[in-house]
Amino acid sequence: MIESSIKSSVEFWRWEEYNRIMPGKKWTSKDLITAGVDVGSVGSKAAIMVNGEAYSWGITRTGSNSPESAKKVLDWALRDTGLKVSDLKYIVGTGYGRVNVPMANKAITEIACHAKGANYIWGSSVRTVLDVGGQDIKAIRSDETGRVVSFLMNDKCAAGTGRGMEVFADLLKIPIEDIGGISLKVDEEPPPVSCTCVAFAKTEAMGLLRKGWSKEKVLAAYTRAMAVRMANLINRVGLEKELVITGGQSKNIGIVSRIEVILGVKCLPMPNWRENGLDPMVAGAFGAALFAKALYEKAQKP
């Protein structure tokens, strides 16, 4: 009875929570082990680094209580590693809930952490980072060391954010991890929708479906409108190659490929995070763990 009621209420917005230990990596008690905990509005990410090299990470959904979410995701990242929280020499908290990471030695803004993390994942050629989070979009310019030069942010509107995409997944009853691919299954790009407000889209999209538009076409029109918003933000901060995308939407091929078309540039290739590559959704936590290492080393100097 209970089981059937759970099955009937599929949560299409729900993305995969997982943890990973980098294959072949080991730690010893002599190593400098640090952590970054990125408590976002929608997802929480934690990364463990051994001597500044990615060792393990975890991704979970942020609950209504930030300190609990921080603890939960750090436990995920430590699972099966043999490490305990007390083995971590220094922990940096970041993200929307960064002041609510109880075990953190210091909090650093997610903008600095994403620039640093993108530099770590893709290397020193990265100059522009688009971070599409659950509740905001940031376009960040950085130098060859991953230091922030300038940035712009949209945090007043759900259009284009991960949360906005979750609403579409639910509305069209398509699992969130499939919507990017499905949005590309159109022969040609439909006319863009005039209004990007996600609240209005709830009714407008239904109207388009009733008019006979396919789900693919509706999704293509809205994904395009969202990509235009993101591209505009990048243009305003000033696009300099190389461009990379971090955050949950970096996994949305419908968004990434349209941004590339609109801006006329290719992003640096996405790491194969499903196999043994680094996950761009964890970029902020990687950056935080790197800051943790630097801060620990600085504190050790006489």
Partner 1 sequence: MIAVGMDLGTQRVKAVVLKDGAVMSRGQAFSGFDPTDAAEQAVEEALKQVHLQKADVAYFVATGSAIEMAPYANSTVSMMSADAKAGIYLFQNARTIIDVGAEEARAVKCDENGVMVDFVVNERCAAGAGTFIEAMARALEVKLEEIGPLSLKAERASPINASCVIFGESDVVSLIHRQESKPEIARAVFDAMADRISSMVHRIGVNPEVIVVGGVAKDVGFIASLNRKLGLNVLIPDYPDYAGALGAALIATSRAKEVQK
Which residues contact partner 1 by CB under 8 A?
64, 135, 155-158, 163-164, 167, 194-200, 210
What's the start-to-end Cα distance of the chain, in Å?
65
**Least gap, CB of 292 to partner 1 (angstroms):** 29
Measured from the CB atom, is 195 or 299 closer to partner 1?
195
User: Among 161, 39, 41, 151, which residue's Cα sits nearest to residue 104?
Assistant: 39
Measured from the CB atom, is 64 or 145 closer to partner 1?
64
Measured from the CB atom, is 13 or 55 closer to partner 1?
13
**Least gap, CB of 79 to partner 1 (angstroms):** 27
**Least gap, CB of 245 to partner 1 (angstroms):** 21
User: Among 42, 109, 55, 41, which residue's Cα sits nearest to residue 83?
Assistant: 55
Measured from the CB atom, is 57 or 96 closer to partner 1?
96
Torsion angles phi and psi, residue 299, rounded to 5: -70, -25
Measured from the CB atom, is 91 or 231 closer to partner 1?
231
Q: Tokens in use for 268?
A: 């640096």
Measured from the CB atom, is 197 or 299 closer to partner 1?
197
**Least gap, CB of 134 to partner 1 (angstroms):** 10
**Least gap, CB of 169 to partner 1 (angstroms):** 13
**Least gap, CB of 69 to partner 1 (angstroms):** 12
Judge contact between 285 and 104, C-beta under 8 A: no
**Least gap, CB of 154 to partner 1 (angstroms):** 10
Measured from the CB atom, is 112 or 158 closer to partner 1?
158
Torsion angles phi and psi, residue 152, rounded to 5: -135, 150
Dihedral-angle region of residue 69 (phi above 0 means left; psi in -120 to 50 means alpha; beta otherwise): alpha
Q: Tokens in use for 229?
A: 């918003």
| Contacts with 212 (C-beta within 8 Å, 6 or more apart), sequence order | none
Q: Tokens in use for 152?
A: 């712009």
Burial 182-192 (b: 16+ CB within 10 A, else e): bbbebeeebee
Judge contact between 220 and 105, C-beta under 8 A: no
